[in-house]
Amino acid sequence: MGLTVATWNINSVRLRTGLVQRFLEETRPDVLCLQETNCPDDQFPSGDFRKLGYGHIAMNGQKGYHGVAILSRLPFVSQDTRIFADKNDCRHISVSFGAEARAANGVTIHNFYVPAGGDVPNTDVNEKFAHKLTFLDEMRDWGASAKPASGKAILVGDLNVAPLENDVWSHKQMLDVVSHTPIECEKLTSAIDSAEWVDAIRTLKPEPERVYTWWSYRAADWEASNRGRRLDHIWVSKELAPELKAIDIHRQARSWERPSDHVPVTVTLG
């Protein structure tokens, strides 16, 4: 098949355009999905990426917060966005590829940015956490009704949940911390199961291997403490699962100048 797809919460695409360019130049994925672009569509730095060969760009952005985008070297024939939890807050975009895309012919890619959920895992006092749980419930329902994982499909993004014990630096200490609470893990697992997605990262890097894609800015030395979480995900449909060849966690990007707190993750199929 020969297709590479990367996902990265860039935490402001305009602030970190240079980092995106560096990643594209060094890694050359066929498709790069960005989250938390924090940028209206008319201010997205498309020209900087087109110069590098990523001439096909789909955006769903707004001023200041959230936002998702897909940069592709391959032409896509359609794009779409969905609203979850009754908020048009730019957290989803998808593209579908046709025959001109060759290796990606027939593939649909969904790019998500699930709400972080605030700091307190209590829906009675934290509306952000309630919003996150509703969003995850609607992802589950969408998976069951729309069947997005039928055929050739890939779902990527910052899903803001680290569902497994070895997706966090300390399972016991993280049980009451938003992103690893039992209710979030259960709802994310339900979203996977309802559409019969396959967790590509854990297929190729099964537990008990520790896998992290995010390290807090709060750590004085993130690398030494290594208190990470796997918040960034790549899911594939059952039809594509046999094509899974490699997963690369680009940990080195966390040490670049003015980095995002997330690092890129790339899947290779083919």
Q: Is the confidence at residue 258, as pLDDT, over 80? A: yes
Query: For residue 11, what are the domain limits?
Result: 3-269
Q: Is the confidence at residue 1, as pLDDT, over 90? A: no
| Helix (H), strand (E), coil (C) string for the chain | CCEEEEEEECCCCCCCHHHHHHHHHHHCCCEEEEECCCCCHHHCCHHHHHCCCCCEEEEECCCCCCCEEEEECCCEEEEECCCECCECCCCEEEEEECHHHHHHCCEEEEEEECCCCCCCCCCCCCHHHHHHHHHHHHHHHHHHHHCCCCCEEEEEEECCCCCCHHHECCHHHHCCCCCCCHHHHHHHHHHHHHHCCEEHHHHHCCCCCCCCCEECCCCCCHHHHCCEECCEEEEECCCCHHHEEEEEECHHHHHCCCCCCECCEEEEEC
Q: Is the confidence at residue 26, as pLDDT, over 80? A: yes
Structural domain total, the chain: 1
User: In CATH, what number is assigned to the domain containing residue 48?
Assistant: 3.60.10.10
Q: Is the confidence at residue 55, as pLDDT, over 80? A: yes
Q: pLDDT-based confidence at 96, cuts 50/70/90? A: very high
Contact call for residues 109 and 197 (beta carbons, < 8 A): no
Q: What is the pLDDT of residues 144-198, one digit of tens each?
A: 999 999 999 999 999 999 999 999 999 999 999 999 999 999 999 999 999 999 9
Percentage with pLDDT > 90 across the chain = 99
Q: What is the pLDDT of residues 195-251, one digit of tens each?
A: 999 999 999 999 999 999 999 999 999 999 999 999 999 999 999 999 999 999 999
- pLDDT at residue 203, as a whole number: 98
- pLDDT at residue 177, as a whole number: 98
Residue range 254-259: mean pLDDT, rounded: 98
CA 127 to chain centre: 23
Q: pLDDT-based confidence at 112, cuts 50/70/90? A: very high
CA distance 91 to 7: 14
Q: pLDDT-based confidence at 107, cuts 50/70/90? A: very high
Q: pLDDT-based confidence at 66, cuts 50/70/90? A: very high
